[in-house]
Chains A and B, each alone.
Chain A
Amino acid sequence: MDWTSWVISTVSRALAFGVPLLWGTLGEIYAERAGVVNLGVEGMMILGAFMAFAVTQSVGSPGLGLFCAAMVGGVAALVHAFLTVTLRANQYVAGLALSMFGLGLAGLLGRGWEGKPLSSTLPYLTVPGLSRIPVLGPMLFQDQTVLTYIGLVLAVLLWILLFRTRWGVAIRSVGENPATADALGINVTLVRYLCVVFGGLLAGVGGGYLSVAYRPAWTEGMTAGMGWIVIALTIFAAWDPLQAIWGAFFFGALYHLSYRLQAFLAPELLKLMPYFFAVVVLAASGFGRARWRRRAPAALGVPYVRGER
Chain B
Amino acid sequence: MKRLGPFVLEPRLAPSRAAVLGVSLGAVILALLLASVVFYGYGRNPWQAYVQIGRGVFGSWPSFSEVLRRAIPLILCGVGLTLAFKAQFWNIGAEGQLLAGAVAATGVALFLPVPEVWRLPLMFLSGFLAGGIWAVLPALLRVKFAVNDVISTLMLNYIMIYIVEWLVHGPWKGPTMRGFAYTDAFPMSARLSYLPQTRVHWLTLALGIGAALVAAVLLARTRFGYEVRVVGQSTEAARYAGINFTAVFALVMLLSGGLAGLAGVGEVAGIHWRLRSPAHISMGYGYTAIIVAWLARGSPLAAIFTALLFGLIFAAGDYMKTALNLPFQITGVFNGLILFCLISFDILMFWRVRLSKREKAWIGQAGSSAR
Contacts and interface: CB of A to CB of B under 8 A. Distances in A.
A–B proximity contact (CB within 8 A) = yes
Interface of A: 39, 79, 83, 87-90, 92-94, 96-98, 100-105, 107-108, 111, 220, 224-225, 228, 231-232, 235, 266, 268-269, 271-272, 275-276, 278-279, 282-284, 286-287, 291, 309
B227 interface: no
Given A108-B333, A232-B151, A89 B344 contact: yes
B343 A94 contact: yes
Given A93-B343, A268-B170, A107 B332 contact: yes
Interface residues of B, number: 44
A112 to B, nearest CB: 10
Contacts of A287: 145-146
A101 B147 contact: no
Contact of A228 (B155, B169, B340): B155
Interface in B148-189: 148, 150-152, 154-156, 158-159, 161-163, 165-166, 169-170
B14 interface: no
B155 A275 contact: yes
Interface stretch (B192-200, B248-256, B323-331): B323-331
Contacts of B282: none
B154 to A, nearest CB: 5
When A and B form their complex, which 4 residue pairs have the shortest distance between CB atoms, in order from nearest?
A: A104-B332, A101-B336, A268-B166, A286-B146
A269 B155 contact: no
A231 B162 CA distance: 20
A93 B163 contact: no
Contacts of B155: 225, 228, 232, 275-276, 278-279
Most buried by B among A102, A272, A286: A272
Name which of B38, B145, B161 has the most chain A CB atoms within 10 A of its CB: B145
Contacts of B92: 96
Contacts, number: 139
Interface of B: 38, 90, 92, 141, 145-148, 150-152, 154-156, 158-159, 161-163, 165-166, 169-170, 287, 290, 294, 327, 329-337, 339-340, 343-344, 346-347, 365-366
Nearest to B284: A100
Contacts of A90: 343, 346
B257 to A, nearest CB: 16
Contact of A104 (B151, B170, B335): B335
Nearest to B161: A272
A103 B162 contact: no
A278 B152 CA distance: 8
13 contacts: A100-B335, A101-B333, A103-B332, A107-B332, A108-B38, A108-B327, A228-B151, A268-B166, A275-B156, A278-B151, A279-B156, A282-B141, A287-B146
B146 A279 contact: no
Contacts of B346: 87, 89-90
A97 B334 CA distance: 10
Contacts of A92: 90, 150
A253 B43 CA distance: 45
A224 B158 CA distance: 9
Given A97-B343, A107-B329, A279 B165 contact: no
B141 A271 contact: no
Contact of B169 (A83, A104, A268, A291): A268
A156 to B, nearest CB: 27
Given A232-B155, A278-B151, A83 B344 contact: yes
A139 to B, nearest CB: 29
A272 B159 contact: yes
Contacts of A224: 158
A89 B335 CA distance: 17
Contacts of A276: 155, 159
Of A98, A100, A266, A309, the most chain B CB neighbours within 10 A belong to A100
A87 B340 CA distance: 11
Nearest to B170: A266
Given A235-B148, A266-B169, A291-B146, A279 B141 contact: yes
A298 to B, nearest CB: 15
A105 B150 contact: no
